Amino acid sequence: MNYIDLHAHMISRTTDDYEKMALSGCVALTEPAFWAGYDRRSADVFADYFNHLTTFEPARAAQYGIDHYTWLCLNPKEGEDRELARQVLEIIPEFLDRPNVLGIGEIGLNRVTRNELATFKDHVDLAVNHDQTIHIHTPHLEDKYKGTKVIVETLAADSRVDPSRVMVDHAEEHTVGMILGNGFWTGLTLYPVTKTSPGRAVDMIERYGTERICVASACDWGPSDPLAVPRFIMEMRRRGHDEALIRTIVYENPIAFLSQSAHFRQPREQPAVAAAS
Ligand SMILES: [Zn+2]
């Protein structure tokens, strides 16, 4: 089955991972800007990173027939440094016209501090002023509920923000209702060890339905699986869900959300490479 992975940090993955994703039906993916594994010390380093995300990664993905898109921002962790945030926010508009840029992301909160929230709001201003869609990171573990609530309430109070153009990612059982109930899109990110497993994601789909829900691997530096979406598809089939329903979640929903960005193109559907001829 063809699918779109809505959250994959390919800069941290090998080219073999692109190949495996293509073999398993991935036709497009989106790569939000994130933490590099260390705090970057200047805006120049971000410019290099944004350049990488808009040149090298789409070329690497294209080798395997995968359309690569990206979202730009200074991530929630580094958002604590207000002066760095100011400098990075100044250079982002230079990159927004690049053909694979979908919008601003993944912005959000990490430890839910005052500085992080100020940087988050600056990014929302940037997105609104440039008519960009938004991709949001919600904190993990004990900060998840509190952080998601602050994010949802901040956006809901801002009349300039259209919730149908915002993806609030990393939802879990105790946050998914709050996100969907306020009109946002949501993402269930699948991890092999910690956080949401494919089984838990299917449980949430069975409870909340498929409207405005996407799934993604969120593969990055840590223990994560670039084939998490195909594993979710397998789990859906094992539980007897029909193919049309699965396709809605892994293919049609991402297209519906991403099509709100001027740069998104309808993917070319690819028959499975591994199928016997
Ligand atoms: Zn991420």
pLDDT, tens digit (0-9, with 9 covering 90-100), for 208-266: 999 999 999 999 998 899 999 999 999 999 999 999 999 999 999 999 999 999 999 99
DSSP 175: T
C-alpha 225, offset from chain centre: 15
Residue 202: pLDDT band (50, 70, 90) is very high
Q: Please tell me the distance between residue 246's alpha carbon and the centre of ligand 1 in angstroms.
A: 23
User: Residue 277 has what pLDDT?
Assistant: 39
DSSP 3-state of 239: coil
Q: Please tell me the distance between residue 276's alpha carbon and the centre of ligand 1 in angstroms.
A: 35
d(CA 146, CA 27): 35
Q: Please tell me the distance between residue 9's alpha carbon and the centre of ligand 1 in angstroms.
A: 6
Q: Please tell me the distance between residue 218's alpha carbon and the centre of ligand 1 in angstroms.
A: 5
Among candidate residues 239, 185, 240, the one with its CA nearest the CA of residue 215: 185
**Size (the chain), residues:** 277
Q: Please tell me the distance between residue 37's alpha carbon and the centre of ligand 1 in angstroms.
A: 12
Residue 196: pLDDT band (50, 70, 90) is confident
Residue 91: pLDDT band (50, 70, 90) is very high
Q: What is the pLDDT of residues 21-38, one digit of tens each?
A: 999 999 999 999 999 888
Q: Please tell me the distance between residue 240's alpha carbon and the centre of ligand 1 in angstroms.
A: 30
For range 126-142, the mean pLDDT: 93
Q: Please tell me the distance between residue 69's alpha carbon and the centre of ligand 1 in angstroms.
A: 14
For range 171-178, the mean pLDDT: 94
Q: Please tell me the distance between residue 7's alpha carbon and the centre of ligand 1 in angstroms.
A: 6
Residue 140: pLDDT band (50, 70, 90) is confident
Q: Please tell me the distance between residue 188's alpha carbon and the centre of ligand 1 in angstroms.
A: 12
Regarding predicted confidence, which is higher, 221 or 134? 134
DSSP 3-state of 185: strand
For range 105-133, the mean pLDDT: 96
User: Residue 272 has what pLDDT?
Assistant: 65
Q: Please tell me the distance between residue 202's alpha carbon and the centre of ligand 1 in angstroms.
A: 21
Q: What percent of the chain has pLDDT over 90?
A: 86
User: Residue 273 has what pLDDT?
Assistant: 63
Tokens at 25, concatenated: 């039906």
Q: Please tell me the distance between residue 239's alpha carbon and the centre of ligand 1 in angstroms.
A: 28
DSSP 20: H
- Please tell me the pTM assigned to this model: 0.94
Q: Please tell me the distance between residue 123's alpha carbon and the centre of ligand 1 in angstroms.
A: 16
Q: Please tell me the distance between residue 33's alpha carbon and the centre of ligand 1 in angstroms.
A: 7
Domain 3-258 matching CATH 3.40.50.720: the answer reads no
Q: Please tell me the distance between residue 219's alpha carbon and the centre of ligand 1 in angstroms.
A: 8
d(CA 85, CA 107): 12
Q: Please tell me the distance between residue 236's alpha carbon and the centre of ligand 1 in angstroms.
A: 24
Q: Please tell me the distance between residue 235's alpha carbon and the centre of ligand 1 in angstroms.
A: 23
DSSP 3-state of 75: coil
Average pLDDT for the chain: 94
Q: Do residues 208 and 180 touch, judged by C-beta distance below 8 A?
A: yes
**Residue 195 in this model has a pLDDT that exceeds 90:** no
Residue 197: pLDDT band (50, 70, 90) is confident
User: Residue 276 has what pLDDT?
Assistant: 43
d(CA 102, CA 17): 23
Q: Please tell me the distance between residue 243's alpha carbon and the centre of ligand 1 in angstroms.
A: 28
Q: Please tell me the distance between residue 14's alpha carbon and the centre of ligand 1 in angstroms.
A: 17
User: Residue 264 has what pLDDT?
Assistant: 98
For range 137-149, the mean pLDDT: 88
